[in-house]
Amino acid sequence: MLTRRDFVQAAGIGAAGALTSMIGARGREHAVWSLLEPTLHAVEPGIICLASNENPVGPGKTVLDAVRTAFGPTGAQPGRYSGAASALTEEIAKQFKVKTENVVLGCGSTQILRSATHLFTAKDKPLVGTIPTYEECAGYASMMGHPVTGVALDSEFRIDLDKMANAAKGAGLIFYCNPNNPTATYVGARATREFIARVNRESPDTTILVDEAYFDYVTDPDHDTHVPIAIENPRVLVARTFSKAYGMAGLRMGYAIGHPDTIKKMAEWDGGGGAGSLNVLALHAGIAAIGQPPDFTANERARNTAVRDFTMKWFADRGMKPTNAQANFMFVNIGRPVKEFREACKAKGVLVARDFPPFEKTHCRLSFGTMEEMQKAVAVFGEVLGKKVTARAA
């Protein structure tokens, strides 16, 4: 059995800028998980935060206006419990062309991941996940005394589907983070569908939690959501969040889509489908966000893609190989311990991510900021790493 430690060590209220900073929650993920930076001042002038996989431009005017309205006397009345959860559930169902009984809300995707781990793992039903991946499920399983099985990534830092399927036999839950955090790599939709079918055949009692947190950033042409499978298959659950492309990390809003029986279990465990843990401002922001035209996420993906390509090329030109990033962050081989790189960058006003064992001696995760932020950041990276453009790249 792997403990969480083993798992990660083995293989209206003011100016728009102030409101955006609150909703975007710059730097929070880094602080909560790593404990390496107990106090981060990511919103202070001059600090560039590339540590938390956030949308650096925030949620946009539509969402900000909805939050301001909710604060007002004719709005949502924050002093009272809200009935807006059902409205948000309906909007999500409409967006995905499913029924409301296929949707459950959560306080960020964190609540969704914890609930699924609680429901589908046990002392004799392990959690299976890659090493490394987002640690929420592994940490919660270990806290409950449920075993965790770590599966190494393949040579390209992607999920190794054969190893994962073999490890899944007899497991309670597979955490399938795709694109994967921290590696930013993606497994195509066709291969994922084949993997799900294989697990269903070989381990029919195993539930597969597909985390699509970074879905809106993928540019791989073999890209599709697995919601259609989830609504028909009680052993598949898809988790989504408003924290990434929608820019609402600080508001803590997530949801899951699945078969009515699976969603009912989640809702019963959460005591009302997560609605009781959600604040009224987040609910109204979520309604506004999900109702935006598709070009909102398309524009955010295009912005991120330009920044991604610029940053990846900067590293590749200097002989440092990044993974094939399909998210709003990258995982790159800087050829030295991340701790010393992180501390040197911090001294120059740039915050990068925590260690991700077993690659903490070589690879760093870097979130993508705005283009202006990344142009400033790579200048710092050049000073810290002492890397120049290679002859071949030139």
Q: Is-contact 260 64, C-beta < 8 A?
A: no
Same domain as 75, residue 42: no
**Separation of alpha carbons 37 and 380, rounded Å:** 19
**Is 1 part of a structural domain of the chain?**
no
Alpha-carbon distance of 51 to 31, in angstroms, equals 9
Tell me, yes or no, whether 350 lies in a domain: yes
Residue 249 sits in the same domain as residue 317? no
- Judgement on whether residues 23 and 129 belong to the same structural domain of the protein: no
| Domain co-membership, 36 together with 113 | no
Average pLDDT over residues 13-17: 36
pLDDT tens-place string over residues 99-147 = 999 999 998 888 899 999 999 999 999 999 999 999 999 999 999 999 9
Residue 392's pLDDT band, with cuts at 50, 70 and 90, is low
User: Residue 383, SS3?
Assistant: helix
pLDDT higher than 90, residue 301: yes
| Antiparallel, parallel or unpaired: β 207-211 and 254-258 | unpaired
In the structure encoding, which two tokens stand for residue 216, read together? 């809106």
Q: For the whole model, what pTM was predicted?
A: 0.87
Q: Give the residue from 260, 274, 259 showing the smallest Cα distance to 208.
A: 259
User: Which of 290, 321, 346 represents a domain boundary (last residue)?
Assistant: 290
Q: Report the distance separating Cα 119 and Cα 237, nearest Å.
A: 12
358-368, pLDDT tens digit by residue? 999 999 999 99
**Residue 154, in any domain of the structure:** yes
Q: Are residues 197 and 121 in the same domain?
A: yes
Residue 120 in domain: yes
In the structure encoding, which two tokens stand for residue 200, read together?
């269903």
91 and 192 co-located in one domain: yes
Residue 7 lies in a domain: no
Read off the CATH number of the domain in which 176 is found.
Answer: 3.40.640.10
Domain hosting residue 241, numbered range = 63-290
Is the CB of residue 355 less than 8 Å from the CB of residue 5?
A: no
* 270 in any annotated domain: yes
Tens of pLDDT, residue by residue over 50-80, are 999 999 999 889 888 888 887 766 555 666 6
Asked if 253 and 378 sit in the same domain, the reply is: no
In this structure, of 16-20, 214-218, 273-277, the range with the lowest mean pLDDT score is: 16-20
**Can you tell me which residue has the tokens 């403990």?**
3
159, part of any domain: yes
Distance CA 206, CA 172 (A): 5
pLDDT score of 5 = 42
Domain closes at, from 290, 322, 343: 290
Domain closes at, from 290, 322, 353: 290
Under DSSP, is residue 363 helix (H, G, I), strand (E, B) or coil?
strand
Q: Give the integer Cα–Cα distance in Å for 257 and 276.
A: 18
Q: Are residues 134 and 207 in the same domain?
A: yes
On the question of pLDDT at 12 being above 80, the answer is no
Specify the DSSP class assigned to residue 155: T
Token pair of 311, please? 């940053």
- State how many domains the chain has: 2
Q: What is the pLDDT of residue 40?
A: 41
The tokens describing 43, both together, are 């919103």
> In this structure, what token pair is assigned to residue 215?
């879905």
| Residue 226 forms part of a structural domain | yes
Q: What are the residues facing 332 on neighbouring strands?
A: 322, 364
Q: Are residues 55 and 79 in the same domain?
A: no
Residues 323 and 370 in one domain: yes
Here the CATH number for the domain that contains residue 321 is: 3.90.1150.10
Same domain, yes or no: 359 and 264: no
Give the pLDDT score at 43: 53
Mean pLDDT, rounded, of the chain = 86
pLDDT digits 0-9 by tens, 196-248:
999 999 999 999 999 999 999 999 999 999 999 999 999 999 999 999 999 88
Of 286, 106, 292, residue with least CA distance to 209: 106
Give pLDDT, residue 93: 96
232, 197 contact by CB (below 8 A): no
Other Cβ atoms within 10 Å of 252 Cβ, number: 22
Dihedral angle sign, alpha carbons of residues 302, 63, 96, 175: positive
The pLDDT value given to residue 110: 87
Cα dihedral sign, 381-382-383-385: positive
User: Does residue 45 surpass a pLDDT of 90?
Assistant: no
Q: Are residues 106 and 214 in the same domain?
A: yes
